Amino acid sequence: MSDRIEHARRLLADVSSVAVLTGAGISAESGVPVFRGPQGMWNNMRPEDIATPEAFARDPAMVWRWYRSRLATVRKVEPNAGHTALAALERRVKDFTLATQNVDGLHLRAGSRNVLELHGNIGRNRCDRCGLKHEAVPEPEDAPLPRCVECGGIERPDVVLFGEMLPEGIFEEAASAAARCQAFLVIGTSGVVQPAAMLADIAAGNGATVIEVNLEQTPLSLLATVTLLGASGEILPRIV
Ligand code: BV8
Ligand code: ZN
Which 3-state string (H, E, C) describes the chain?
CHHHHHHHHHHHHCCCEEEEEECCHHHHCCCCCCCCCCCCHHHCCCHHHHCCHHHHHHCHHHHHHHHHHHHHHHHHCCCCHHHHHHHHHHHHCCEEEEEECCCCCHHHHCCCCCEEECCEEEEEEEECCCCCEEECCCCCCCCCCCECCCCCCEEEEEECCCCCCCCCCHHHHHHHHHHHCCEEEEECCCCCCCCCCHHHHHHHHCCCEEEEEECCCCHHHHHCCEEEECCHHHHHHHHC
Average pLDDT over residues 215-232: 97
Report the separation in Å between the CA atom of 193 and the middle of ligand 1, taken as the mean of its atom positions.
Answer: 3
- Residue 37 banded pLDDT, cuts 50, 70, 90: confident
pLDDT, the chain, mean? 95
Q: Tell me the C-alpha distance between 48 and 50, whole Å.
A: 6
pLDDT of residue 32: 95
Residue 42: is its pLDDT beyond 80? no
- Residue 45 banded pLDDT, cuts 50, 70, 90: confident
Cα end-to-end distance, the chain, whole Å: 15
Tell me the pTM.
Answer: 0.96
The active-site residue, picked from 7, 107, 119, 134, is 119
Better-scored residue on pLDDT, 96 or 38: 96
pLDDT, tens digit, 9 for 90 and up, residues 145-179? 999 999 999 999 999 999 999 999 999 999 999 99
CA distances 146 to 125, 131, 208, Å, are 9, 13, 45
Would the CB of 38 count as within 6 Å of ligand 1?
no
pLDDT, tens digit, 9 for 90 and up, residues 68-93? 999 999 999 999 999 999 999 999 99
Average pLDDT over residues 179-207: 97
pLDDT of residue 43: 67
Report the separation in Å between the CA atom of 126 and the middle of ligand 2, taken as the mean of its atom positions.
Answer: 8
**Residue owning the nearest CA to atom 34 of ligand 1:** 165
Q: Tell me the C-alpha distance between 90 and 185, whole Å.
A: 12
